[in-house]
A = this chain, B = another copy of it.
């Protein structure tokens, strides 16, 4: 897909430092958080000649092995964040859990954090995110803010059951969500999500037929690199597999790409963002969620696209031209490697997996396994999505982390 430019929203114009004010002899990137997303960002950054410094309290965090060095402190420790920011040209984030006010404090101190505090404010609170998407005129399931069980019940009657009760902050992989099928289930859901302590909101349940996603990188000058539309399959609320390109009618793909681009514009994206979409029965595409970062649905790009979502994220943050999102093969598929139970971080079955010729194995180096924990992924390319998915699934089937409990 050709590059083109968008007019950045001035309210959220990323505050890039000009090269001359702060550029060190070697470009330096900081990353808050040291999980697998940071690890893969670090690998791209290092290949492009950057120093990459990761902030994470765990010395064995996945990104520690891939980064130039790590700062072993808490990610919400303002002094540690300041130490990180002072050592680099730009600070990246691997999750949306750092409060926007902390990012704002770093900006006030003159540091460059991307995405910035205003964008994070619009995205990290899912209710604010929904408001932003709605104000941009984009299609999304009905939603409502709720402050009590009574509000939830009222929303259920208004939207129709079932509804989904969600935490506004800090949810992921299905945590912080509760599907409610009737008024009778509201109390239990409210208690599970601890509505007294956590701000919640409600969405109408969207009877989607397929789930789609697209990664988009926005450069500081507004250039856009949009990745192929993919289809994602979740199991137990966790991403199981991704297929690229999504096999949907061309008009659906076009609308989905357009909706996604407008969504990331609306929040003032900088670098790579991902947009998750619902495809509904009537063919309507609705925005599900925006992730202000590289995303599981884009891991296939490492092996299947000219320039990965991770590398393009680095290019965008460093003020470099974006790379091509063209696919290297007609189709690709990624299958997640999830822990089956508790155990050490070392997998069984690597040899069998690697014996599958198309298998591109990525292990995250986590010290411990837990049930449902993302421990790695396998990507395969192929002549068709089915072929790619078959190979990736076969290869992934050999890998086992942990003992099923």
Contact = CB atoms under 8 A, between A and B. Distances in A.
A5 to B, nearest CB: 14
B67 A361 contact: no
Contacts of A358: 306, 324
A361 B329 CA distance: 21
27 contacts: A24-B346, A25-B344, A25-B345, A25-B346, A26-B344, A26-B365, A27-B350, A43-B66, A47-B361, A47-B363, A48-B363, A49-B361, A49-B363, A49-B376, A51-B65, A65-B68, A68-B365, A306-B357, A306-B358, A306-B360, A319-B351, A320-B350, A320-B351, A320-B354, A321-B354, A324-B358, A328-B328
Interface string A341-366: 00011110011001101111111110
Interface residues of A, number: 43
B67 A345 contact: no
A46 B25 contact: no
Interface of A: 24-27, 43, 46-49, 51-52, 64-68, 306, 315, 319-321, 323-324, 328-329, 344-347, 350-351, 354-355, 357-365, 376
Count copies of this chain in the complex. 2
A52 B25 contact: no
Question: Interface SS of chain A: helix, strand, loop or mixed?
Answer: loop
A347 B49 contact: yes
Contacts of A328: 328-329
- The interface centre, meaning the residue of A43, A47, A67, A357 with most chain B CB atoms within 10 A of its CB, is A47
A343 to B, nearest CB: 10
Contacts of A362: 47
Sort A-B residue pairs by CB-CB distance and give the 7 closest, nearest first: A49-B363, A321-B355, A65-B68, A25-B346, A26-B346, A320-B354, A25-B344
Contacts of A361: 47-49
Contacts of A46: 43, 65-66, 365
A73 to B, nearest CB: 19
A25 to B, nearest CB: 4
